[in-house]
Structure 1
Amino acid sequence: MSRSGTVDGVLVRRADDRMHTEIDWLDSRHSFSFGAHYDPDDTHFGLLLVSNDDRVKAGSGFETHPHRDTEIVTWVLAGSLVHQDSTGHSGVIHPGLAQRMSAGSGILHSEKNDAFRADPATPATDVHFVQMWVAPDTSGVTPGYEQLDITAELDEGGLVVVASGVPRHVDQRAISLRQKDAALHAARLLPAGTVRLPAAPYVHLFVARGTVEVEGAGRLADGDAARITASDGRRVTAGADGAEILVWEMHSALR
């Protein structure tokens, strides 16, 4: 596998080149600067501030902590995650369930691996999820929460609008974002399945599992990402085992 670099105008970031946090209960790989990991040249792309690829052990997780003025979308790949927040929302997030929390003027929440709820005879497993943060277009709003199961839409194999504030997505989106210039899409691609990326000034493609071939930029595998400026709708084709991808479409960038 080649290293990170620019191919045909696409900045490819390989999984092994991500910053890495590993402690007893958490294995997290960061696509951008996060926590103690800081690179002044890698703080965001477009409006996307955070894209963390997390694995949390059973019975563990993120204790109650604060957020402010951030749109947080969590996408579970395996296992389940228990969410609780200071506005009274709680629930169990599982694969195919889109979830968004708007931190707004301030919110407290916790996220924990739900495996401890399972039958004791069943081996406990890690929860694997991707958590993504985008900047809102308005600060200090009332905190909010939204979730929706979109498994049926994903099973059709195309690119599904998971969360969006883009006006033209009003009839397509699963859940809303308080950011009019950003949308998250997802696809579960069968072997050799193909989709076209959105046309937008900034597009971030993350390969959550499997392998894909990106038109003009080559092969991406689990954990690889592509940052595309002035995206013109490149074709993405899954490899022999299929793939699951997460795609941010963004029409502005942080200054």
Structure 2
Amino acid sequence: MKLIICGAVGYGGIERIRDLQEFLRENGYEVIDQFRDADYSYVEDFRDRAELSRKIIERDLKRIEDADVLILIADSPSFGASIEAFLFSMKGRTVIAYAENPARSPWSLAFARRICRNREELLKALKEMGKEEIRTIPNIWGEHEAEFIYENFGCICPVTGREDRARITIRYVPDEWLIEYESLDRYFRSFQNREIHHEAVVSEIFSEISKRISPRYLEVAGEFEERSGVRARIIKRGGQKNGI
């Protein structure tokens, strides 16, 4: 897992970033050093530094592309770091807001999946990141209903030991977060070699989506291929559509 730490660079902020970088490296994480080739903390005014500004922005945006998790130091807001966090989150990647002190701007927290107040909480959050299969993005489009259909679901029947094939349909009304639907393929493929009953498949998918995005309404349906002359369709619903 590659991490990048973003935050205010001026007024001593770069030292906070470097200190947190070193702490995470000591705990076994690979941390991208965006200051390796350039330290611009000495620049007091960018108004007459258009070329330098362009190069910094291009380099920083390229660096965050290499990261799996972005940690935003959220108690000393930065225009650039907040934009980086927004762009990162809109690609379905995880942003963690790190704030040892009060965060006085909602923008530094708005696109974070986790908010950590100390280093122990941060390490715990990072440890849990590796278990998450379904990616999410912020819901900036308001109330709506979405439907995803996955035709190639497979698992193993625990009774016969044979492969079960199914179509999985997900309908939901989001709240603050959306499913980044391309990540569903990776999540569903994790079932391929598992022995699991039909009912457990639907229940587990329902629980995982509920945990990841807390939708206002969620429906998960599994339509399984015929077995012994019987075709099974398992549905689980929860929440309310509120007029959608």
TM-score, normalization by structure 2:
0.25
Q: Larger relative CO (CA 8 A, sep 6+): 1 or 2?
A: 1
Q: Which has the higher strand share?
A: 1
TM-score, normalization by structure 1:
0.24
Q: Which has the higher helix share?
A: 2
Which structure would you say has the larger Rg?
2
